[in-house]
Amino acid sequence: MQLEIQKQIQNHIQNQLQHHIQHLNQNLNQNLNQNQNQNQNQNQNLNQNQNQNLNQNQNQNQNQNQNQNQNQNQNQNQNQNQNQNQNQNQNQNQFKNQNQFKNQKRFNKPNKKLMIKNILKTREELTEVLQLNHFETFYLVSEKKILEVYDVFGKKIDSSNLWIQFVKNSDSFIYLYKVYHHFISKGWIIKIGLKFATDFIIYRGNPEKFHAEYSIKVIPSQEKFNNNNISWIQLIEMNRVNEKVAKEMILCFIVKSNDWNDEMKYSVDCLNSLSIEENLLSRFTLKNKEN
C-alpha cells in the first residue's frame, strides 16, 4: 500500500511539473511573439517616417527648382526688355545724328562731337587687325605721335626718314599726303578711293554708318589735263562712275610756290610750299528753250 501511495504521489508531482513547464513555455512564446510584433511595428514606423521625410525633401527641392526657373525666366525677360530699349535708343540717336549731318551746309566742317561719338569704340569691340596705308601711317607718326614704326631689323624709323622712304617709293606721295592732311584737318574721315577710280573718298561720320559724299582727285597744277596725267575724257568717265554711287567729285589742284625745287621734296617742310585749290566737278546738259 505504501508503495502505491508513493507512486501516486510521484505521478502527481510529475504531472504538476509538466503542467508548470508547459505554462512557462507558453508564457515565453507569448512574450517572444509580443516582442517580434513590437519590433515589426517599430520598423514599420521608422520606414514610414523615412518615406515621409524623403517625400518632404523631394517636394522642397521641386519647389526650389521651380522658384529658380521662375526667377531665371523673369531675369531673361528683363534683360530682353532692356536690350530692346537700348537698341531703340541707339536707333533714335543715329537717326538724330544723320538728320543733323544732313542739315549742315555743303563743305562746312562736320560736327566733331557727333563724329567722335560715332567713331570711338571700346577695346572689346576692336577685334579686327589694324591695317594702315602710307598716309594714315605718316599722319599718326608725325602729327599725332601715337604710332612708332620699326624696320625689319627692329630699328625705330623716325618721321623724317619715314617721309624719305615714302617719297622714294612714289613721287605722288607728296601731293596725295598734302590733300589727305588738308581734309583730315577739317574734320573729315578720308579713305582710299581706288574702287571709284579716284584718289580718296571722304565721309562726314563713321564710314560704317554714313555714306561717302565726295570723291577726291588730286592733280598737280603744272600737269593738269596733260596727256601724260589726265584728260577731260578720263574726268568724264570718273564723274560718271561716281554719279552712279551718289558721290560728287572734287578736283584738288596742287599749286607750288615760286621757290619750289625738286630737292625740297625729301623734307616734310616742303608741304609749306604747296597749296590746294578745290574745284567741284559737275555734269551739265543743254536744253532747248521753251517757246
Amino acid at 197: A
191 is annotated as an active-site residue: no
**Sheet order of strands, 189-192 included:** 189-192, 200-203, 214-220, 248-256, 274-281
| Interatomic CA distance for residues 271 and 93, integer angstroms | 40
203 is annotated as an active-site residue: yes
Q: Which of 203, 214, 217, 265 is catalytic?
A: 203
Q: In degrees, to the nearest 5, what angle opens at C-alpha 75 toward C-alphas 71 and 78?
A: 140
Backbone angles phi, psi at 199, to 5 degrees: -85, -45
Coil vs helix vs strand at 214: strand
96 is annotated as an active-site residue: no
Q: Which of 178, 181, 182, 247 is catalytic?
A: 247
Q: Which of 7, 117, 211, 224 is catalytic?
A: 211
Amino acid at 212: A
Q: Residue 11 half-sphere exposure, CB side, CA atoms within 13 Å?
A: 6
| DSSP category for residue 288 | P
Q: Residue 107 half-sphere exposure, CB side, CA atoms within 13 Å?
A: 7
Active site residues: 203, 211, 247
